[in-house]
Amino acid sequence: MKAILTETQVALSIQRLAHQVFENHLHLHDTVLIGIQPRGIFVSDRIVEELKKLAPSSNIQYGKLDITFYRDDIRKGLHVANKTDIPFSIENKNVIIIDDVLWTGRTTRAALDALLDFGRPAKVELCVLIDRRFSREYPIQADYVGRTIDTFPSQKVFVKWKLKDGIDEVVLG
């Protein structure tokens, strides 16, 4: 296992991502943040925490999206869905989808399909902690990236979170 981001680097990357989002969406009133279930929630929760520090008077609209039944790469077996919680319309809003790792683009494509059930956004952006840039199957690029890495398709990226794993870190295995 090779460390990609230490605990300190994870915290700094999340702070930087929140600052970049805030710079591009200063008032946050027409912007909604959507974390992708299950693993993107850890990143999105932390980014929303940082945004609340940067704009304490803003009403940040934050939802969580399950894409289980929108995926095209998981066809066999019984799947247990996660919870979708988007208590607002995304109609004509700037939507920022947040996930932990961008790899093939299939998760993001499924999220785009699922989002249409909640309205037609004015604009959609993608925010990821890790971008594995050389394995795309869809023409999808992140607008906000914590760290870009080059990997072989056989390698795995493990994102660990203090709440779940006892430590915040990203390792390559």
Structural domains for the chain: 2-172 (3.40.50.2020)
Could you report the per-residue pLDDT of 56-93, keeping only the tens digit for each? 988 999 999 999 878 766 656 555 667 899 999 999 99
- pTM score of the predicted model: 0.93
Mean pLDDT lowest for which of 33-42, 74-83, 146-155? Answer: 74-83
DSSP state of 57: T
The half-sphere exposure of 92 on its side-chain side, counting CA atoms within 13 A, is 1
Rounded mean pLDDT, 165-170 = 96
> For residue 170, with 0-12 CB atoms within 10 Å meaning exposed, 13-18 middle and 19 or more buried, which class applies?
buried
pLDDT of residue 78: 52
Q: Please report which confidence band the pLDDT of residue 142 belongs to, taking 50, 70 and 90 as the band edges.
A: very high
Contact 144, 17 (CB under 8 A): yes
